[in-house]
Amino acid sequence: MVQKHSLSSAPGTVALLGSGEYLPVMNETDTYLLATLGGAGQTHIALLPTASGLEPGRPQYWNSLGFEHFQKLGVQDIRLSSIIDHTGSNDPEQVALLQGANFYYFSGGNPRHILESLRATTAWEVIAAAYRRGAILAGCSAGAMALGSVLISPRDVYSDQSPHWLPGLGIVPKIAVFPHFDRMQGNEIWASGFKRMLASLPEDHRGLGIDEDTALVRMPVETEAEPASWKVMGLGSVTLFERDGRARIFHVGETIVDL
């Protein structure tokens, strides 16, 4: 049974995707997320192509793909935002579009650009407040990275220099998210740099590798103090890493209770 929860005093559901936003492979995951809000008819979703703001034409591409995807799932209120930079995040018209939504979806692109665009803005204040009242936050690839407490540029993995961690949006505390994980692990140079990067994580932080076409979804909670559990959905697996490299792998259908 899917637990439904309206905007209240409990934080919303969170979905972290390794890849596959707005594609049929995520139909089951997104249908589950809609059900936590009472179904497609009760969903008011805002699509945020912010991460692709530096790529001409990509925000429009993601908005179009997302609109078609959620329309097929029965959602009628689909809001296409044009928040692609810091200026847009403070634009009254764009902020008004976010008001009253109960599902915010961040598609992929450049994780650092999301932070630079949203941090200390009216748009993020609206989104964060809605999340605290029960709205869903979903992030794919760069969007998932930004929802963690720290993130790193993928380029730093290949660099011989010390990794430079940036503070994320902090929705998932003490976690650094690594999307496209199965594909990246297949790169020998990246795999070597990843070990060095794990060791450089801030104290008490862990790494979270999410395979492509895979989502890690936090189950709804009744109160903010209630321990949350996370379920693996999609096609692949999720790997939870300690700073010393110790790892636990979770497959589709399995849950993580100590994230």
Classified as helix, coil or strand, 130 is helix
Is residue 4 included in any domain, yes or no? no
Using a cut of 0.85, tell me whether the model's pTM lies above it.
yes
Is residue 9 included in any domain, yes or no? no
Edge-to-edge strand ranges of the sheet holding 247-251 = 175-178, 206-210, 237-241, 247-251
Decide: 21 and 52 in contact? Cβ < 8 Å. Answer: no
The dihedral sign for the CA sequence 127, 129, 134, 139 = positive
Is residue 201 included in any domain, yes or no? yes
Task: Give me the percent of the chain exceeding a pLDDT of 70.
Answer: 91
What's the CATH number where 227 sits?
Answer: 3.40.50.880
Give me the pLDDT at residue 196, please. 86
Model pLDDT for residues 98-126, shown as the tens digit of each residue:
999 999 999 999 999 999 999 999 999 99
Give me the pLDDT at residue 8, please. 43
Find the domain containing 179 and state its range.
Answer: 14-256
Is residue 3 included in any domain, yes or no? no
Count of domains for the chain: 1
Is residue 22 included in any domain, yes or no? yes
Give me the pLDDT at residue 194, please. 86
Is residue 49 included in any domain, yes or no? yes
Spell out, as residue ranges, where the chain has pLDDT lower than 70: 1-10, 154-161, 221-226
Give me the pLDDT at residue 88, please. 98
Amino acid at site 197: M
Is residue 41 included in any domain, yes or no? yes
Is residue 54 included in any domain, yes or no? yes
* Angle CA 141–146–148, to nearest 5: 105
Give me the pLDDT at residue 57, please. 96
Other CB atoms within 10 A of residue 129 CB = 12
Decide: 240 and 255 in contact? Cβ < 8 Å. Answer: no
Model pLDDT for residues 53-79, shown as the tens digit of each residue:
999 999 999 999 999 999 999 999 999
